[in-house]
Amino acid sequence: MLEIKDLHVCVEEDPSEKILKGVNLTINEGEIHAIMGPNGSGKSTLSKVVAGHEAYEVTQGDILYNGESILDLEADERAHLGIFLAFQYPVEVPGVTNKNLLRQAYNTIAEEQGREELDPLQFEDHAREQLKLVDMKEEFLERSVNAGFSGGEKKRNEIFQMAVLQPKLSFLDETDSGLDIDALKIVANGINELSGEDNAVVLVTHYQRILDYVQPDHVHVMIDGKIAKSGDKDLAIKLEEQGYDWLTDTVSVNG
């Protein structure tokens, strides 16, 4: 589904700021991947570059989605193909309800995803169904975008967006951070419910904690812009016990 090949990325505004330094990663349908690693290692950048964020420039390598390069596609075109990175608004958007924003997003990608566009009532039914997954009240749909969302609600909203849009490939960036245990279980349960045979989920996380509730097929550790090690669930457990230092040493020894 997704094949990242020798990906080198710098900051668009400052080409001397190299962030990704040769990332290789293959993600197949039906898989859950966890990308772990210390702060500043490039995890969020990788997600954003796959989603088509314009702050970054790919200087080398390629990103193939179903066998075709997506490097020339804009972020919205990638969304049409079913690539999802939770959208977050730093500010409240008065007058635009969560429901309307999501219906617009849903309908924009509907045709390419082989689905019918939904009118407001149909969408409301669909959205209500998905709200149950994240255990949120219906009034949540009527709220202005971001109006008074707590930290936990913002995270649950990411899962809710994913549930509504039903993407093929989802990147969830630190969706687990700052959640209390009940919210964490809800988020994890949502991910488990939404992951299936024909989609893939990439969990970007600093902590191992969510992996107690979501079973990843593959775990990768990103250090200094590269994937320093890949493995299975046991790798996450080892990281929890031993931190990242043993890998940092490996990286420097190997150059």
H or E element that contains 234: helix 233-242
CA distance 136 to 133: 8
User: Minimum distance between the CB of residue 56 and ligand ADP, rounded to whole angstroms?
Assistant: 7
CB closer to ligand ADP, 35 vs 134: 35
CA distance 27 to 217: 10
For the beta sheet containing 169-173, the strands, ordered from the edge strand earlier in sequence to the opposite edge, are: 83-85, 169-173, 200-204, 32-36, 218-223, 226-231
Which string of x and - marks every residue 52-91 that binds ligand ADP (by CB under 6 A)? ---x------------------------------------
- β-strands 56-65, 68-69: how paired? antiparallel
41, interface contact from Mg ion, ligand ADP, none, CB < 5-8 Å by kind: ligand ADP
Q: Which of 43, 103, 218, 220 binds ligand ADP (CB under 6 A)?
A: 43
Range in contact with ligand ADP (rule: CB under 6 A) among 42-50, 71-79, 88-96, 191-199: 42-50
CB closer to ligand ADP, 6 vs 142: 6
H or E element that contains 239: helix 233-242
Q: Which of 6, 17, 125, 129 binds ligand ADP (CB under 6 A)?
A: 17
30, interface contact from Mg ion, ligand ADP, none, CB < 5-8 Å by kind: Mg ion
H or E element that contains 49: helix 43-51
Smallest CA-to-CA distance from 216 within 47, 37, 33, 27 is with 33
Residues in 4-43 that interact with Mg ion by CB under 5 A: 30, 43
By CB under 5 A, is residue 44 in contact with Mg ion?
yes
Tell me how far the alpha carbon of residue 51 is from its chain's centroid.
9
The residues of the shown chain that bind Mg ion, judged by CB under 5 A, are: 30, 43-44
Contact footprint for ligand ADP (CB under 6 A): 11, 17, 19, 37, 39-45, 55
